[in-house]
Structure 1
Amino acid sequence: MKALVLEDDELVGELIETIVAGFSGLNVTLARSLTEAKQRLAEAPYGLYLVDWELPDGSGLELLKLIRQTDSVVPVVIVSGRTDRESVIKAAHYGISGYVTKPLDVELLHRRLLDLIPAHRVENASVHEYMARSSNTVVQLPTDLDPADIIELIGRVDTLSAAELAERWREQIGLTARILDVANSSSFRRTGKPVESLRAAIGTIGVSMALSQALALSLDVTAKLTRPELKAFADRYQDMSLRVAREANRIATLLGSASTMYRSAGLLSRLGEMAVLKVLNQFDAAGGSLEQAEIEQCLARWSEEYGNRLKVHWKFPLGLRELIGAVHFLSPDNHREGPIIMRAAALIAENRQAEPECQRLLRQLGLDRSEFAKEEPSDAL
């Protein structure tokens, strides 16, 4: 099902997108103006609308009227800063399905959508057909965020700093990806300086918005992998990502380089695999037939494609994309320090420091190879 979000405030729009994208089977389109939303509606109808009332180029009620001219039952939720009774009655006159006021209450909007969005079911689709369709949708990575923990932090929002949150969430792959995405949206790239670390991203969007994004992700029940085989793969890839992030941080520190960007790149180095697991979990929850061999086939077939699409969709800076890519492959003629750090970190994380490639990279960095003695293999790998 397709959902259209009309919201001119970029931060609020990104937050609503996070909440809506958490529902399985939804393909979210974000419109920034009434004109753009009308164009989208003229192209094709949607199965769900979330509409801001007051927009720079008109009223969201105009879109509501257009929708109701041809469809009297499709869910339409108004999201507005107007809290007076008269406004609610006026919107209700046009047949709304819900009215949510700003500042946006993440839990309230999530509850409203639970009542409006039907359970997603797979209809005679193979897992590869499902993967192909889902590759163009907003995919949120699996997360183990606890809503109660986030709500507790929201209660202390005035005393929290970006540095404290970044330290608390430093190993949260899905949350790191989403907050980097929001921070690198167009309104924050006007300076020409991309945001490449979690701490900088939280500082850019603010602690309050970062907590709202975290709460939205924590309420995404489809982000919790319910099938044991999928959870086992996710644990493996998360462990691999954390090891690369730690090794990259260690190498960068030895070289006296700023390490936050390298840590982010390592943490996100398996985002393609994690996204595939999330979509497979949705497929399984929607009644699809999924065998162990198909899980492995999908990881091999779709991880790179999903990873590349997400890096673009999430607006990762080119520098960060290059560092993530270097984890998996680095051309011998690439002599830039950043990619070399990431590739060396990946090899060391896999206990491959004795291999010629890793030895060569450490020499290029001017590091003592004896500092990277081989460790005992981890059971997690």
Structure 2
Amino acid sequence: MTVVDLSAVPTVLIAEADPWTQDLLKQVVLTVRCDAQLDVCGDGQQALAQLSKKHYGLVIADRDLPGVSGLDLLRTVRQRRAVPAQPFILLSARNDSASVREALPLAPTAYLTTPLDIAGLTRRLKGLLLTAGQEISCEVPALVPGMTLKRFLEQHRASSDGAPLLVDAQSALNSSLTPEGLDLALLEQAVRTDPQITAVMIAAANSAAQHRIDPAQTLAQALQLLGPAQSMNLVLGLTLKRSAQLTDPCLADYAEQQWAVSLRTAQYGFELAGMLNLDQERCYCAGLLHRLGDLALLRSLEAWQQAGGELDTLAIDASLSEFGAAYGSALRTRWRLPLELRELIAAIYHLGGGVYSREALVMSLAAQVANLESEEGIAEVAGGKTARLLRVGMSQLLQLIDKP
């Protein structure tokens, strides 16, 4: 007979194919129990193997897992006849009565339809993972003895959560709610200047679980593909993460500087694309996302500081110089941002030789203007190769920087 001890650190198995839903589920569980030990797998066969090796205090599984379905996973768990029954939350996009009736004989602890109701899931998890009146707090783990900043940043690069949030995401959601539900157009306007939200929405819309042939390359396209409920869940998930917003004033100032360059490049790219009848929104996104790595690095620097590491402006500057580009490249690859968008971002930094699209030339020119320290340098930019190839003259460039 197996008895689940809620006073112990809970072990939770999450079986979900979509990486963004996986991440959301992890954040919701950790919000309820920051000390929870999580195992995550992307298909039913892996989940079955995990269940054969280890007992979990809770299983959360998608009904439509590849390999072995979540329903079959639940059937296997119930056949073991554990007392009390192992808590098992079954997630499903199917809310028809026949699908629900099929699952009921297996007694899932909860049958939750997707996109998820985060508040409802949180309540369920509190009932399952906390005893009455129990409160859990978790300290930030201290640095391993001998850990250097360089090694810390190298280790964090592959698992970085991305940039901090630079807009008030919760307020943006609240202001986008109407009596009919979440208005995606209002949400897009409220968060379109935030690099992290933009990147995550585009990545999630293009994830393998979405089976996209034509990738979303702008925030508006991504929101339309995800829909109101999933868009809201993903934004909420970002707010739940540790260091979602920078609290150190010095790092926050650095983030503002990086963001300002991103916004200038995005806006100049948008305006130039409009002058030349090119895709304005894609150019805007490329400009907005080109400092994503630098912003993600600042977030990792705050994690270093919170773990007890020392930090000063010299270390911040050196870290940005050494790791900013690498963090950005790692994120864009891991999140599988569309190749066309990545090419535009690359053009912001360097064109080199070869033949480039007009949009790539636009982004290169936008970056040149955005990085000018004064209007005096505009003549040199106007006389440069990129401006000449696009046939953009001094008057058009002055029009860009004179816009409010």
For residue 168 of structure 1, what is the amino acid of its counterpart? A
Which residue of structure 1 lines up, in the alignment, with residue 43 of structure 2? 33
The 1:155–1:172 alpha-carbon spacing in structure 2 relative to 1, beyond 3 Å, is same
CA contact (8 A) 2:176 2:183 kept: no
The 1:147–1:344 alpha-carbon spacing in structure 2 relative to 1, beyond 3 Å, is closer
Report the Cα distance in structure 1 between the residues aligned to 2:379 and 2:137, rounded to whole angstroms: 54
Report the Cα distance in structure 2 between the residues aligned to 1:17 and 1:175, rounded to whole angstroms: 18
Q: Number of residues paired by the alignment?
A: 363
Which residue of structure 2 lines up, in the alignment, with residue 170 of structure 1? 192
For residue 218 of structure 1, what is the amino acid of its counterpart? T
Give the number of the structure whose alpha-carbon radius of gyration is greater.
2
CA contact (8 A) 1:100 1:109 kept: no
Aligned-pair distance for 1:369? 2.4
Matches within 5 A, 1:196-215: 196-215=217-236
Which residue of structure 2 lines up, in the alignment, with residue 337 of structure 1? 358
Aligned-pair distance for 1:152? 2.4
Q: Does 1:122 align with 2:133?
A: no
The 1:234–1:9 alpha-carbon spacing in structure 2 relative to 1, beyond 3 Å, is closer
Report the Cα distance in structure 1 between the residues aligned to 2:314 and 2:203, rounded to whole angstroms: 33
Residue range with higher mean Cα deviation, 216-225 or 340-349? 216-225
Q: 2:237 aligns with which of 210, 213, 216?
A: 216
Give structure 1 stretches of 5+ with no counterpart.
70-75, 93-98
Q: Which has the higher contact order (CA 8 A, sep 6+)?
A: 1
Matches within 5 A, 1:45-84: 51-52=60-61, 54-56=63-65, 57-58=68-69, 59-61=72-74, 78=89, 80=91
RMSD: 4.3
Q: 2:118 aligns with which of 106, 121, 135?
A: 106
Report the Cα distance in structure 2 between the residues aligned to 1:8 and 1:287, rounded to whole angstroms: 36
- Tell me the percent identity: 24
Aligned-pair distance for 1:20? 6.7
The 1:206–1:18 alpha-carbon spacing in structure 2 relative to 1, beyond 3 Å, is farther
The 1:375–1:198 alpha-carbon spacing in structure 2 relative to 1, beyond 3 Å, is closer
Q: Does 1:325 align with 2:346?
A: yes
CA contact (8 A) 1:241 1:267 kept: yes
CA contact (8 A) 1:34 1:60 kept: yes
For residue 161 of structure 2, what is the amino acid of its counterpart? V
Aligned-pair distance for 1:5? 3.2
Report the Cα distance in structure 1 between the residues aligned to 2:389 and 2:56, rounded to whole angstroms: 55
Q: Deviations over 1:45-81 (max 9, x none)?
A: 899976216354144458979xxx9xxxxxx984546
Aligned-pair distance for 1:363? 1.1
CA contact (8 A) 2:88 2:108 kept: no
Aligned-pair distance for 1:110? 6.2
Q: Deviations over 1:86-123 (max 9, x none)?
A: 97x9677xxxxxx7944533346568599678333123
Residue range with higher mean Cα deviation, 8-17 or 319-328? 8-17
Q: 2:256 aligns with which of 230, 235, 238?
A: 235
Matches within 5 A, 1:120-199: 120-124=140-144, 125-146=147-168, 148-150=170-172, 152-153=174-175, 155-156=177-178, 158=180, 160-190=182-212, 192-199=213-220
- The TM-score with structure 1 as length reference comes to 0.78
The 1:269–1:20 alpha-carbon spacing in structure 2 relative to 1, beyond 3 Å, is farther
Secondary structure of the residue that 1:287 maps to in structure 2? coil
Q: 1:244 aligns with which of 265, 276, 291?
A: 265
Report the Cα distance in structure 1 between the residues aligned to 2:138 and 2:111, rounded to whole angstroms: 20
Which residue of structure 2 lines up, in the alignment, with residue 267 of structure 1? 288
Q: Does 1:15 align with 2:24?
A: yes
Aligned-pair distance for 1:348? 0.5
The 1:152–1:193 alpha-carbon spacing in structure 2 relative to 1, beyond 3 Å, is same
CA contact (8 A) 1:8 1:31 kept: yes
CA contact (8 A) 1:337 1:365 kept: yes
Secondary structure of the residue that 1:223 maps to in structure 2? coil
Secondary structure of the residue that 1:118 maps to in structure 2? coil
CA contact (8 A) 2:266 2:284 kept: yes
Report the Cα distance in structure 2 between the residues aligned to 1:60 and 1:154, rounded to whole angstroms: 38
CA contact (8 A) 1:21 1:140 kept: no
Report the Cα distance in structure 1 between the residues aligned to 2:57 and 2:389, rounded to whole angstroms: 54
Give structure 2 stretches of 5+ with no counterpart.
1-10
Residue range with higher mean Cα deviation, 32-41 or 13-22? 13-22
For residue 14 of structure 2, what is the amino acid of its counterpart? V
The 1:346–1:21 alpha-carbon spacing in structure 2 relative to 1, beyond 3 Å, is farther
The 1:25–1:165 alpha-carbon spacing in structure 2 relative to 1, beyond 3 Å, is same
Report the Cα distance in structure 2 between the residues aligned to 1:157 and 1:145, rounded to whole angstroms: 24
Which residue of structure 2 lines up, in the alignment, with residue 363 of structure 1? 388
Report the Cα distance in structure 1 between the residues aligned to 2:155 and 2:29, rounded to whole angstroms: 18
Report the Cα distance in structure 1 between the residues aligned to 2:393 and 2:225, rounded to whole angstroms: 37
Q: Does 1:292 align with 2:313?
A: yes
Q: Does 1:350 align with 2:354?
A: no
Secondary structure of the residue that 2:384 maps to in structure 1? helix
